Structure 1
Amino acid sequence: MIHKQLPDMVLLLLASCTVSSLDSNLILFQSRMDGESLQLLKALPISSSQQCLAHRKNFLLPWQPVSRHQYQKGHALAVLHEILQQTFNLFQTHVSLGIWEESRVERVLAALHQQLTSVESLAGLKAEQKRGGSSVQSLRLRIKAYFRRIHDYLESQRYSSCAWIIVQVELNRCMVFVFRLTGWLSKQELDP
């Protein structure tokens, strides 16, 4: 089934988004979307998605209408952290459902954990978040609500194959946003 490919797709997308430090004060986010990553974003078979059209749902991607250029660095890091954390929570919650091979889910969780650790270790992340105050908290709450809608949808659809296909498409959209955001952060670091 197509939903069994989701952990591998997420793993590859996470692997292509690297976080590396140039020195203790300068962090460079790089996103590399090579041909394989782009193909994975388009890998959902048309026949599978067509049979699930009746199950479509708008999860109201909270950052879509907000330009990434409106974010300050601290806001962008907080958004990135929250997306990774909520994606981790989604996979961790559903690992026991037996939908995917456990080894695939474990690889995804390990990659997500590594990315979370990298983002959390960024110098000044907590200070930047505190400086942002209520605006950072508002962004985090919007992201949490977005992932809550995904979780509620899966639950209401009893974790059906079509529900997972719809969630796969939604997570693809989310990962595209992550790549754009990390690309913007890279540019911010290169062009002070």
Structure 2
Amino acid sequence: KAMPANPQSQGMYSILLLLLLLPALTTAFSCNHLRHQDANFSWKSLQLLQHMAPPPPQPCPQQDVTFPFPETLLERMDKKQAAIITLRILQHLLSILSSPNTPTHWIDHAHHSLLNQIHHYIHHLEQCLADQDTRSQRRGPHNSHLSIKRYFRHIHNFLQHNNYSACAWDHVRLQARDCFRHVDTLIQQMKS
């Protein structure tokens, strides 16, 4: 006959079991929490962007400014690659929108809310990627990383070349709007 376990050893087994399950629970929680945020992230970001950045007070001269987004980044890929590309886009977008040279007519509260939302989503993406032990794959395909970097370098150079004018920022606002739409496409790929 097996001897009944004493309450102390049962408690110890429960603690050991919890410690073994904790990493799995943390991973599931962070990625599941991310999925709940996915549904509204792009829409909320677009709303904040629209509220944050009204058109400049003076009409802008018509400029033929194009920043061709590397469309190959939106082609069908696995969930991890989509998450990595989303992360890189948002990191660059956060960097540009965090510039101390943003126009004075932007609404501070909405601007800070947008920056906080982007930062929060970046944090959860990084956590999800780290929890899934994709450390070696976190950089993503080298070509996509360079394409993203080149795209945002063009935007940054445009701002510098135009002395961070309100009109230059208005073009950047339009690019940010497109970026959130691209991020939404990538989020849909992460869900499928």
Q: What TM-score bracket applies, with the shorter chain setting the length?
A: 0.5 to 0.7
What are the within-5 Å matches in structure 2 for residues 105-144 of structure 1? 105-124=111-130, 127-128=133-134, 130-131=136-137, 136-144=141-149
Partner of 1:68: 75
Against the structure 1 CA distance between its residues 118 and 81, is the aligned structure 2 distance closer, same or farther, given a 3 Å change threshold?
same
- Residue 156 of structure 1 is aligned with which of 156, 161, 164? 161
CA contact (8 A) 1:74 1:129 kept: no
Q: Distance in 2 between matches of 1:39 and 1:107?
A: 11
Against the structure 1 CA distance between its residues 175 and 184, is the aligned structure 2 distance closer, same or farther, given a 3 Å change threshold?
same
Q: Distance in 2 between matches of 1:74 and 1:178?
A: 14
CA contact (8 A) 2:91 2:122 kept: yes
Identity %: 23
* TM-score, normalised with respect to structure 2: 0.65
CA contact (8 A) 2:48 2:110 kept: no
Higher Cα radius of gyration: 2
Shift of 1:55: 2.1
* RMSD of aligned Cα (Å): 3.6
* TM-score, normalised with respect to structure 1: 0.65
Shift of 1:112: 1.8
Q: Secondary structure at the match of 2:174?
A: helix
Against the structure 1 CA distance between its residues 26 and 81, is the aligned structure 2 distance closer, same or farther, given a 3 Å change threshold?
closer
Aligned residues: 160
Q: Secondary structure at the match of 1:77?
A: helix
Against the structure 1 CA distance between its residues 32 and 129, is the aligned structure 2 distance closer, same or farther, given a 3 Å change threshold?
same
Shift of 1:23: 2.6
Q: Which runs of 5+ in 2 are unaligned?
A: 1-25
Shift of 1:173: 0.8
Q: Distance in 1 between matches of 2:131 and 2:86?
A: 11
Shift of 1:124: 4.8
More strand per residue: 1 or 2? 1
**After TM superposition, which residue ranges in structure 1, 4 or more long, deviate above 6 angstroms?**
33-45
Q: Distance in 2 between matches of 1:164 and 1:176?
A: 18
Against the structure 1 CA distance between its residues 129 and 58, is the aligned structure 2 distance closer, same or farther, given a 3 Å change threshold?
farther
- Correspondence 1:172 to 2:177: yes
CA contact (8 A) 2:101 2:164 kept: no
